[in-house]
Each structure stands twice: as structure tokens, then as C-alpha cells.
Amino acid sequence: MHRTENRMKTLLATFGFVLFCAGIIHAQTQILAMSFEHAAFFIAVNPATNLVYVPEGQFFDAGVIVIDGNRSSPSFHQKVARIDLPNDCSPVEIAVNTVTNRVYVADDFGNRVLIVDGVTNSLAGSVAVGPHPRRLAVNPATNRIYVSLDDGSIAVIDGNSNAIAATIQLENPNHFAFKLAVNPITNRVYVTSLQGSITVVEGANNSIVTTIPGDSLRTGVALNPVTDRIYVNNLADGTVSVIRGSTNTIEANVFVGLASNQVAVNSLTGRVYAASTGNGLYVVDGRLSSPTYNTVLSSLGSFFGSSDLAVNSNTNLVYLMSGSLLKIFDESITSPANAIAVLIDWVTSLNLAQGTANSLDSKLTNAQSALESLRGGDAATACNKLDSFINEAQAQDGKQLTATQVRELTVEAGLIKTALGCQ
């Protein structure tokens, strides 16, 4: 009994320490705030090109602003192009196909979806879809674009032919589709509504798999195709629901502050970003094997209003639209030593065989010691030790460690290496 109590105390202490350190190693730093000439509320990022797209204005002022999101570019976070849109349109949400480099803009007034060529930054065509298209999502694997319409249906566009391939009628036509997200691995589409339902669509045959009931005011939705977790904002109670894609069940509701309305996911790092209108931007741990899974890791100040949110997994930058102002946050590791300490506690929480645990722990401890050396920090040695940790973790794949644990631990070690400037 005493041993069990002591073990519980140790785990609780570790959990508390990890939460404390997590809030300081990934300090969200706002690096820029960008304004626009005309009203702008939505944003899309192409991680393949590191370009950022923001539709602005209406009718004669309508256009799409293209922003350079490449950290190493001399025009980093500068407006590099403006794509003029037809003067009879009202652009709303925007989405990108990272494979074809096509950008899709929902045109509310024109009842169509506008197509932009991401190579030439020019208008490439349009597809008539039905009444008042406002939200859309793209499956880059199948080249299908899903568009919510005002009559309670979803139009499916074939990106190869730019024609309507199907129309999906939601089970309750009064539940207006508010936001959509697509998992390109499972080919499932997730649709939220302000009336509370989450509709799951099978992309292979455009049929409704199930409808997940819930309270009203479900707004944003995003997913991690690697973990098959879907994240849904609940505006009414300030939480984010975490849905397990394999069972379509809610496994957690994470409180993120007053009026939670936007969410985005970095599928590489496993971090989930949730914006709440009244409180700010929160980071939720979406790493399945982490001891802080489905908890808030950190938060950034308060601001008023958020209309869209996007993440570039390549640059680790987070983009938030707030009142026609684009706010850009850097989520890179700011304290490698603290990040290593969290990684050590992560390994401890896995309850591995003593030999494996000691081997992994010693490599991280040596890396940490190198950074804290009297010589002012031996980054080169720390990098070598982190490489050794990564190699050891990969060698344990399918043995002492699961594939998920290996992926998440090595990704985190890689983020620390990036922060150290390792070659």
C-alpha cells in the first residue's frame, strides 16, 4: 500500500513539473501583427510552399493577399502578391490543396467556389456550387473539395475536372454546416454545426457514417491525421472536445477559456492551438504518449476576437486572424535545457524496463549537462547526445517502445535540436 501511494506521489510530482516546464519551453511569442487594406477574416497556409493566403474585401475590393511565410526568405512575412477576384464576389473561407497547389475561395454572394493557381498567383476558374457557400475543406489525397451550402448540404467538387461530383444532404437540414475538416488518411470528413451536431462523412462514397450529438454552438474543427484525433470548439462552455476517429467518441473535453471558437493542429509536433474570443490562444497537448496528453500546456495573453486560425507545421508558426488583423506567433522551443528536462520526465512516465529507461535517460541527462557546462553551454555535445537518444529510441521500435512513442519522442528531440541549431 505504501509503495502504491509513493508511486502515485511520484507520478503526480512528475506531472506537475512537466506542466510547469511545458509552459516555458514553448513560450508563444507574437512576432508580428499585420493589417490589411480591406476587411479580412480568414486564412490558409500551404506548408509545401510556405505561402500564406488571406482573402480581403468584397466586390470591387475583393482579392487574395499572398504572404511569404518562409523563415529564410528576405521577404519573410511580407505581402508578395495580391490576386484580384471578380468584382461581383464576396470571398469567405479559403483552403489550399498542397499537392496540386490550387487555392479555393468560397464566394458567398456568387454561389460559387473560386480557384486560384498557386504557381502563377492568378485566377484559374470557378465552380458553381449552390446557395451561399461559406466554408470549405480540401482532401489533397483524393483532390476533392467539400463546400458547405446554405440549404443544409455539402457540395463535393472534383478537383481534376472542376465539376460537382456529389451533393451530401445532412441528416438535419436545419443544422447549418459551420466548419469542415478532412482526414486525408482515413478519407473522413467532419462537419460541425451551431446546433451542436458533428456529422461524419465517408469520403469514398459520400455517405453519412454517423452524427455525434452534443450541446449547441459547436464551431471550429481541426484534426490530426497522424493520431486520428478530431478537435471541436464548444463555444458555449469554452472547451475543446477531443474525438477519437476510430470510434467517433469523445474522449475528453479540455477547457480553454471563454468562447472557444477556433482550433488548428500541428500534425508534426502534436500540439493543438485553440483560440477563445475572450481569453486568448491556448496550446493543448495532443501527443498520445505524453504524460500531459489532453491538457493545456500554455496560453498567451488575452485579445478580443478571433475569426480563423492556421498552423504551418514546417515553420512552427501559428497564424491568427483577429478583427482584420493577422497575428503571427512563433511556437519554437525557447529553452532547450528545460525541454530536455521535460523529455526525461516523459521517458520516466512510460515505465520502461530499467535497462532501456536508463539508457535513454543517460543520453538526455548528458545532453542537459552539456548545456549547463561551465564552458557556457556545449551545444555540439548536446546535439550528439540527442542524436544518440533518437537512434536508441528508433532501435526500440516494436520492442520496448511502440511506434507512436518512438515518433513522438524523436520528434520532440528533433525540435530541441532545431532550437540548438544542430547540423
* pLDDT value at residue 374: 62
* Range 79-94 average pLDDT: 97
Segments forming the whole domain that contains residue 284: 27-330
Task: Examine the pLDDT at 293 and tell me if it is beyond 70.
Answer: yes
Give yes or no: residues 13 and 158 share one domain. no
- Domain termination residue (choose one: 314, 330, 346): 330
* Range 346-351 average pLDDT: 98
303: pLDDT confidence band, cut at 50, 70 and 90?
low
Which one of 25-39, 88-102, 265-279, 292-306 scores highest in mean pLDDT?
88-102
Give yes or no: residues 187 and 296 share one domain. yes
Q: Which residue has the higher pLDDT, 423 or 75?
A: 75
* Range 336-346 average pLDDT: 96
d(CA 300, CA 249): 30
Q: Tell me the per-residue pLDDT of 157-201, one tens digit each, with 9 for 90 and over.
A: 999 999 999 999 988 767 778 899 999 999 999 999 888 889 999
* Range 290-308 average pLDDT: 85
Give yes or no: residues 41 and 155 share one domain. yes
Give yes or no: residues 273 and 199 share one domain. yes
* pLDDT value at residue 27: 52
Give yes or no: residues 177 and 193 share one domain. yes
Q: What is the tally of helices (H) and strands (E) in the chain?
A: 5, 28
- Percentage of residues in the chain having pLDDT higher than 90: 78
- Domain termination residue (choose one: 265, 299, 330): 330
Tell me if residue 53 falls in helix, strand or coil: strand
Q: Which residue has the higher pLDDT, 22 or 280?
A: 280
Mean pLDDT (the chain) is 91
Long-range (24+ apart) CB contacts under 8 A made by 355-364 are: 356/396, 356/400, 356/401, 359/392, 360/389, 360/392, 360/393, 363/388, 363/389, 363/392, 364/340, 364/389
Task: Examine the pLDDT at 108 and tell me if it is beyond 70.
Answer: yes
376: pLDDT confidence band, cut at 50, 70 and 90?
low
Give yes or no: residues 326 and 340 share one domain. no
Give yes or no: residues 14 and 95 share one domain. no
299: pLDDT confidence band, cut at 50, 70 and 90?
confident
* pLDDT value at residue 177: 85
Task: Examine the pLDDT at 255 and tell me if it is beyond 80.
Answer: yes
On the CB side of 286, how many CA atoms lie within 13 Å of its CA?
30
Please give the grid coordinates belonging to residue 112: 460559387
Give yes or no: residues 349 and 299 share one domain. no
Q: How many domains does the chain have?
A: 2
Residue 60 belongs to a domain with what CATH number? 2.130.10.10
- Percentage of residues in the chain having pLDDT higher than 70: 90
414: pLDDT confidence band, cut at 50, 70 and 90?
very high
Q: Tell me the per-residue pLDDT of 9-60, one tens digit each, with 9 for 90 and over.
A: 333 444 444 444 444 455 567 888 899 999 999 999 999 999 999 999 999 9
Task: Examine the pLDDT at 6 and tell me if it is beyond 70.
Answer: no
Task: Examine the pLDDT at 239 and tell me if it is beyond 60.
Answer: yes
Please name the amino acid found at residue 316. N
Strand order in the sheet with 51-56: 44-46, 51-56, 63-68, 79-84
Give yes or no: residues 12 and 65 share one domain. no
* pLDDT value at residue 423: 85
* Range 193-217 average pLDDT: 91
Please name the amino acid found at residue 324. S
Give yes or no: residues 143 and 234 share one domain. yes
Q: Tell me the per-residue pLDDT of 115-168, one tens digit each, with 9 for 90 and over.
A: 999 999 999 999 999 999 999 999 999 999 999 999 889 999 999 999 999 999
* Range 211-221 average pLDDT: 86
Q: Are 294 and 251 in contact (CB under 8 A)?
A: yes
4: pLDDT confidence band, cut at 50, 70 and 90?
very low
d(CA 342, CA 20): 9
Q: Are 196 and 218 in contact (CB under 8 A)?
A: yes
* pLDDT value at residue 14: 41
d(CA 49, CA 41): 22
Task: Examine the pLDDT at 237 and tell me if it is beyond 50.
Answer: yes
* pLDDT value at residue 22: 47
Closest CA to 240 of 322, 295, 199: 295
Measured in degrees and rounded to the nearest 5, phi and psi for residue 32 equal -165, 150
- Domain termination residue (choose one: 287, 304, 330): 330
* Range 225-246 average pLDDT: 95
